[in-house]
């Protein structure tokens, strides 16, 4: 049915897909999984012609469809849903699906204007098709409601109904279960099974492994744009390469690197550092935090605490809610309920610039470098709120000692740095903010294993000099090999806690990531 041959897709220098082959037979339900940024949605975009492959070809039902426009491939029989819901919010539920049903009809301006019977009959037929799809997914009772008024789970179903109304032979679902609660996920699974039974071939991108294993016949796994495995869900779950892709490789443990020993350098300017023995005060505490994106609950009753001087790792699969948690703590997102306490002060819902002023510094996912500012300017922005020039310059020297590469590139634009260098710049910038507690969001993302080691070793050194650190990571093994304590986040809830070593060895970590 669908044949993707040696497809490579480059975005400038970035290789999103590298020689990917995919063959899907008619009637299959195929799963497409992989860690964050592995190219799954890009692959969908290439198949549905939203992106042009740099090389390689796509053929659908025997026809080469590589260069065509998205609307053409829709009319040829390929339908899709999107990662972020893209409904026609201004229309009713019925109209959303009706607009899709007219996929194969002509516009017919004349017929529409004068109300020709031919056009009217066709309109009636299209309405029937639309109603049929609404019945099929189970939301027919909402047909006159505006689309934006539906609950999130129902909106997802509407998107599927709309895709089905184009009468496709192949349906691509991009994370359809995102943001759904377990009941809704079960209903979704049933729906997709019925879709498959009706003769439609399905490819589904999902992060929730239980949904995938329940549903699919075979799974294809991508990692950094490369297909690394293909097989039944059980085979894939136990494949070493897949496990490594998700949880990280073993060689990242506590090997010493060439990193400069910074214990003495990073110490407090007030004197040589001496770790305070007992008791440790609570630096950061979360109590029953519930955070939402719109109507979707991402964090459920999260409670934990971080002691001063501790190094804690919070790990979890994609979509578990890690970034949402850090955004909640740093003030970028206000939780719907619960409390965040920092150094004894309640900071729930406080604005992010005021939280930073108190020494709680967040290094965001994707580094957040100011691309057109130089390395020096980026670092100075970290010190924006500070007044003491001498101290700022002192800290600048400190940062350059920890990250000598940054000093070499001091006048270079931030955006021109490599991924690893940008990560170091981001951490350096955070150090310039004189943090009491440092929040790091997935510093290993997009970095080669060697760089991951380097970055995390530096983070460990910072901790050695007294920095309190909360490290959020997808790469479980790397994170737990440098931290003291670990938490595991799974679909918005904390499921495991303990000393880093224990958590690392616990089999439920693998389950949290890969299901099974």
Partner 1 sequence: MTLKATHALYTNYCSYCFLAVIMVVPLVFTNPYFSHILILGGIYIILALGQNIVTGYCGQIHLGMAGFYAIGSYTSAILCTRLGVSFWLALPLSAAAAAIAGIVVGLPALKVRGGVYLVLVTVSFAGIIQVILNQWVSLTKGPMGIVGIPAPRIAGFEISSLVQWFYLTYFFVVLVTLFSTRLVHSRIGRSFVAVRESETSAQSIGINLAFYKVLAFLISAALAGLAGAIYAHYMTTISPDVYGFNLSVLVLMMIVVGGISSIPGSILGGVTLAIVPELLRAFGSFQMIVYGLGIILSTIFLPSGLLALGVNSIQFFGNKLSQKTSAP
Partner 2 sequence: MDHAVTLVELVMGGLAIGSVYSLVALAHSLIWSGVRVVNFAQGEVFMSAPFIALTVLMGSNLLSKQSFVISILAGVGAASLVGLALYLGVIAPTAKHGFLYVIAGCVGGSVLIQNIAILIWGSTGVQFPSFLSTEPIKIGPFLLVPQDLWIMAISLVAMGALYLFLAKTRIGTAMRAAAQNRSVAGLMGISHSLTDSLTIMVASSLAGLAGVLLAPKFYVTPQMGTIISSKGFSAAVLGGFGNIPGAVIGGLLLGVLENLSAGFISSEYKDATAFILMIFILMARPGGIFDAGKGRRA
Residues contributing to the site for partner 2 (CB under 8 A): 330, 332, 351-354, 356-357, 361-362, 364, 368-373, 377, 380-382, 384-385, 429, 433
Residue 241 touching partner 1 (CB under 8 A): no
The residues, ordered by sequence, that sit 6+ positions from 187 with a Cβ below 8 Å of its Cβ are: 138, 153
Residue 293 touches partner 1, criterion: CB under 8 A: no
From the list partner 2, partner 1, none, partner contacted by residue 356 (C-beta under 5 to 8 A by kind)? partner 2
Do the Cβ atoms of 369 and 417 come closer than 8 Å? yes
Asked if 131 is part of the footprint of partner 1 (rule: CB under 8 A), the reply reads no
Shortest Cβ 80–partner 1 spacing (Å): 5
Total residues interacting with partner 1, rule: CB under 8 A? 38
Residue closer to partner 1, measured from CB, 114 or 264 = 114
SS3 content of the chain, % helix, strand, coil (to 5): 40, 25, 35
What does the DSSP assignment read for 395-446?
HHHHHHHH-HHHHHTTTSBGGGS-HHHHHHHHHHHHHHT--SEEEEE-TTTT
121 binds partner 1, rule: CB under 8 A: no
**CB-based contacts of 246, cutoff 8 Å, min separation 6:** 35, 317, 474, 476, 513, 514
Q: Is 61 in the site for partner 1 (CB under 8 A)?
A: no
Return the number of the residue (262 or 332) whose C-beta is nearest partner 2: 332
240 binds partner 1 (CB under 8 A): no
- Selected from 8, 18, 57, 82, the binder of partner 1 by CB under 8 A is 82
**Beta pairing class for 311-316 and 437-441:** unpaired
40 is in the binding site of which of partner 1, partner 2, none (Cβ under 5 to 8 A by kind)? none
Other beta carbons within 10 angstroms of residue 124's beta carbon come to 9
Q: Indicate the SS3 state at residue 222.
A: strand
Q: Does 128 bind partner 1 (CB under 8 A)?
A: no
Single residue of 4, 22, 126, 195 touching partner 1 by CB under 8 A: 126
In this chain, which stretch among 70-78, 198-206, 238-246, 469-477 interacts with partner 1, using CB under 8 A? 70-78
Give the nearest distance from C-beta 54 to partner 2 in angstroms: 14
Token pair listed for 159: 């998107």
Nearer to partner 1, 149 or 418 (CB): 149
Q: Which stretch binds partner 1 (CB under 8 A): 28-36, 158-166, 238-246, 357-365?
A: 158-166
Q: How far is the CB of 178 from partner 1 (least distance, A)?
A: 16
CB 372 within 8 A of CB 429: no
Q: Which tokens is 43 given?
A: 């692959």
Residues, the chain: 516
Q: Is 174 in the site for partner 1 (CB under 8 A)?
A: no
Which residue number, 11 or 116, has a Cβ lying nearer to partner 2? 11
Based on the shown chain and the rule CB under 8 A, indicate whether residue 118 belongs to the binding site for partner 1.
no
Residue 282 or 373: the one with the smaller Cβ distance to partner 2 is 373
| Sole residue written with tokens 């349906």 | 171
- Which residue, 148 or 354, has its beta carbon nearer to partner 2? 354
Between helix 507-514 and helix 240-247 the angle, nearest 10°, is: 90
Minimum distance, C-beta of residue 295 to partner 1, in the bound complex (Å): 19
Q: Is the CB of residue 505 less than 8 Å from the CB of residue 476?
A: no
What 3 state SS string does 20-74 have?
A: EEEEECCCCEEEEECCCCCCHHHHHHHHCCCCCCCEEEEEECCEECCCCCHHHHH
How many whole angstroms from its chain centre is CA 445? Answer: 11
Interface residues toward partner 1, by CB under 8 A: 48, 50, 69-71, 74-75, 79-80, 82, 86-91, 95, 98-100, 102-105, 107-109, 112-113, 115, 123, 126, 144-145, 162-163, 165-166
């Amino acid at each position: 049915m669908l044949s993707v041959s040696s497809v490579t897709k480059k975005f400038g220098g970035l290789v999103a897909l590298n020689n990917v082959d995919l063959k899907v037979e008619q009637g299959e339900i195929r799963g497409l999984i992989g860690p964050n940024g592995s190219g799954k949605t890009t692959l969908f975009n290439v198949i549905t012609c939203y992106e042009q492959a740099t090389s390689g070809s796509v053929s659908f039902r025997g026809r080469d469809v590589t260069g065509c426009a998205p609307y053409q491939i829709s009319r040829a029989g390929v339908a899709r849903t999107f990662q972020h819901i893209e409904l026609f919010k201004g229309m009713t539920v019925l109209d959303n699906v009706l607009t899709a049903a007219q996929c194969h009809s002509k516009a017919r301006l004349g017929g529409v204007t004068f109300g020709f019977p031919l056009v009217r009959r066709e309109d009636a037929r299209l309405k029937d098709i639309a109603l049929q799809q609404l019945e099929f997914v189970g939301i027919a009772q909402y047909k006159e409601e505006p689309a934006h008024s539906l609950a999130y789970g129902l909106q997802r179903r509407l998107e599927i109904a709309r895709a089905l109304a184009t009468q496709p032979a192949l349906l691509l679902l991009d994370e359809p279960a995102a943001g759904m609660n377990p009941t809704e996920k079960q209903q979704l699974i049933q729906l997709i099974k019925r879709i498959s039974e009706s003769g439609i071939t399905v490819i589904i991108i999902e992060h929730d492994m239980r949904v995938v294993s329940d549903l699919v016949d075979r799974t294809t796994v991508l990692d950094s744009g490369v297909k690394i495995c293909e097989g039944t869900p059980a085979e894939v779950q136990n494949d070493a390469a897949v496990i490594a892709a998700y949880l990280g490789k073993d060689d990242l443990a506590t090997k010493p690197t060439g990193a400069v020993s910074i214990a003495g350098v990073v110490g407090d300017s007030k004197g040589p550092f001496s770790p305070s023995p007992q008791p440790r005060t609570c630096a950061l505490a979360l109590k029953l935090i519930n955070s939402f994106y719109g109507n979707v609950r991402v964090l459920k009753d999260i409670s934990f605490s971080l002691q001063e001087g501790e190094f804690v790792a919070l790990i979890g699969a994609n979509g578990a809610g890690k970034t949402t948690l850090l955004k909640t703590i740093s003030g970028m997102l206000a939780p719907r309920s619960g409390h965040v306490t920092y150094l004894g002060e309640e900071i729930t819902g406080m604005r992010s610039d005021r939280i930073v002023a108190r020494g709680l510094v967040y290094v965001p996912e994707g580094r957040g470098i100011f691309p057109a500012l130089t390395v020096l300017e980026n670092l100075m922005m970290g010190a924006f709120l500070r007044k003491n020039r001498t101290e700022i310059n002192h800290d600048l020297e400190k940062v350059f000692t920890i990250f000598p590469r940054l000093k070499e590139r001091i006048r270079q634009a931030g955006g021109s740095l490599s991924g690893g260098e940008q990560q170091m710049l981001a951490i350096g910038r955070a150090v310039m903010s004189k943090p009491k507690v440092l929040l790091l969001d997935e510093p290993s993302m997009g970095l080669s294993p060697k760089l991951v080691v380097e970055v995390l070793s530096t983070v460990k050194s910072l901790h050695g000099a007294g920095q309190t650190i909360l490290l959020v990571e997808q790469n479980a093994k790397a994170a737990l090999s440098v931290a003291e304590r670990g938490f595991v986040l799974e679909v918005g809830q904390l499921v495991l806690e303990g000393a880093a070593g224990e958590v690392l060895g616990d089999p439920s970590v693998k389950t949290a990531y890969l299901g099974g």
